[in-house]
Amino acid sequence: MLTIDLTGNTALVVGGSRGIGAGIVVTLARAGAHVVFTHTGRHPARVDELLSAVRSAGGTVEAVAAEATAEAEMTACVEALVAARGQLDILVHNAGRNQARPVETMTLDSWHDALDCNLTSAYISVRAAMPHMLAARRGRIILIGSSAFYNGGGGALDYAAAKSGLVGMMTYLAREYSRKGILTNVIHPGAIETDLLKERYGEPEQRAALVAQMPVGRLGVPEDIAGLTAFLASPLGDFICGQSILVDGGRTLYR
Ligand SMILES: NC(=O)c1ccc[n+]([C@@H]2O[C@H](COP(=O)([O-])OP(=O)(O)OC[C@H]3O[C@@H](n4cnc5c(N)ncnc54)[C@H](OP(=O)(O)O)[C@@H]3O)[C@@H](O)[C@H]2O)c1
């Protein structure tokens, strides 16, 4: 039987307490990885719930409160992880936030906030992880982008710009670091059922309209993103790098 086996791997999921990140934590742990995930500290009950769920299913997992935009906190998190585990094999950068609003209502401060949360945070994660992956000549970096990169959706200029920036980051990393054993890809989710989606499509009629746009006939769930993440992190992904992959039930291109 073909399985995804991440036994012996240590993974860091940046922004893993809820939604897509939590789905990735559960799936990587189910595949046998030791998973460390970060969160803001603002939803402690969700963190506890996730830790219990993974542990009761036999997985090994740890949570670290670390702000993804704070370089010192993230560097300390990675250093502690490597000191304890000896290695960081898989980095998933999932932290992100979106506030749909027209350009006319934006301010320079709100632009900087969005870029910090959605793009600079990814630089910080990669910067912290890279020396350890280079030393091991081995690593998988998976950035969580957005279908907004393809079609300008998501309802915010800063969000679309930041998610496009992740693609530039990924192409650079694939070009410069694949030969050094570090493979990077971006997964672009579209319309996945999470708190972030509920904030934008809270009403039943908005949700129904969204489902009607989905060629596969349903919204996505975090496990839809998590499965590909585990695949790319595993030996099954050994020949895949520098890719931007839409996981959106066909909505972005075929709605
Ligand atoms: N849902 C979708 O349809 C969709 C579509 C396209 C792209 N995406 C992308 O997928 C990713 C996850 O989205 P989601 O829908 O799962 O969002 P979500 O439900 O709002 O969850 C966001 C997760 O990221 C963490 N996080 C956010 N900002 C952080 C920060 N500054 N520092 C540390 N942790 C932070 C949150 O931690 P706390 O629990 O501590 O707040 C939470 O675990 C995002 O990058 C988003 O842009 C989602």
Q: What is the CATH number of the domain that holds 141?
A: 3.40.50.720
Question: Does residue 254 lie in a domain region?
Answer: no
In the reported structure, the alpha carbon of residue 108 is separated from the centroid of ligand 1 by a whole-number distance in angstroms of: 22
H/E segment holding residue 1: none
According to DSSP, residue 217 is labeled: S
Instruction: Confirm or reject: Cβ of 63 under 6 Å from ligand 1.
Output: no
Which tokens belong to 85?
């585990």
Residue pair 124/68 in contact by the 8 Å Cβ criterion:
yes
Instruction: Confirm or reject: Cβ of 39 under 6 Å from ligand 1.
Output: yes
Overall number of domains in the chain: 1
Instruction: Confirm or reject: Cβ of 95 under 6 Å from ligand 1.
Output: yes
What is the average pLDDT value for the chain, to the nearest integer? 97
- Give the torsion sign (CA, 19, 21, 22, 28): positive
pTM of this prediction?
0.98
* Mean pLDDT, range 11-33, rounded to an integer: 98
For residue 147, the model assigns a pLDDT of 97
In the reported structure, the alpha carbon of residue 135 is separated from the centroid of ligand 1 by a whole-number distance in angstroms of: 30
Question: Does residue 20 lie in a domain region?
Answer: yes
According to DSSP, residue 41 is labeled: S
* Mean pLDDT, range 175-184, rounded to an integer: 98
Question: Does residue 137 lie in a domain region?
Answer: yes
Please determine, for residue 57, whether its predicted confidence score (pLDDT) is greater than 90. Answer: yes
Please determine, for residue 236, whether its predicted confidence score (pLDDT) is greater than 90. Answer: yes
Residue pair 244/149 in contact by the 8 Å Cβ criterion:
yes
What pLDDT band is residue 200 in, cutting at 50, 70 and 90?
confident
Question: Does residue 253 lie in a domain region?
Answer: no
Which residue numbers are catalytic?
Answer: 159
- Report the candidate in 249, 187, 176 with the shortest Cα–Cα distance to residue 212: 249
Instruction: Confirm or reject: Cβ of 200 under 6 Å from ligand 1.
Output: no
In the reported structure, the alpha carbon of residue 215 is separated from the centroid of ligand 1 by a whole-number distance in angstroms of: 24
Question: Does residue 90 lie in a domain region?
Answer: yes
Neighbours of 80 (CB within 10 A): 14
3-state helix, strand, coil in the chain (%, to 5): 55, 15, 30
For residue 98, the model assigns a pLDDT of 96
Position of tokens 């030969």? 179
Query: Which has more pLDDT, 199 or 246?
Result: 246
Please determine, for residue 29, whether its predicted confidence score (pLDDT) is greater than 90. Answer: yes
Position of tokens 């790098």? 241
Question: Does residue 3 lie in a domain region?
Answer: no
Instruction: Confirm or reject: Cβ of 144 under 6 Å from ligand 1.
Output: yes
Cα–Cα distance measured from residue 36 to residue 252, given in angstroms and rounded to the nearest whole number: 32
Please determine, for residue 192, whether its predicted confidence score (pLDDT) is greater than 90. Answer: yes
Question: Does residue 136 lie in a domain region?
Answer: yes
| Burial class for 39, CB neighbours closer than 10 Å (0-12, 13-18, 19+) | buried
In the reported structure, the alpha carbon of residue 6 is separated from the centroid of ligand 1 by a whole-number distance in angstroms of: 24
| HSE (side-chain half, CA atoms, 13 Å) at 223 | 4
Residue pair 35/55 in contact by the 8 Å Cβ criterion:
no
Task: Please write the tens of the pLDDT for every residue from 109-159.
Answer: 999 999 999 999 999 999 999 999 999 999 999 999 999 999 999 999 999
Which tokens belong to 101?
């609003």
Of 112, 194, 219, 247, best ligand 1 pocket probe by most atoms within 8 Å of the beta carbon: 194
Q: Please tell me the total number of residues recorded for the chain in this structure.
A: 255
Question: Does residue 140 lie in a domain region?
Answer: yes
What pLDDT band is residue 191 in, cutting at 50, 70 and 90?
very high
Find the domain containing 56 and state its range: 10-245
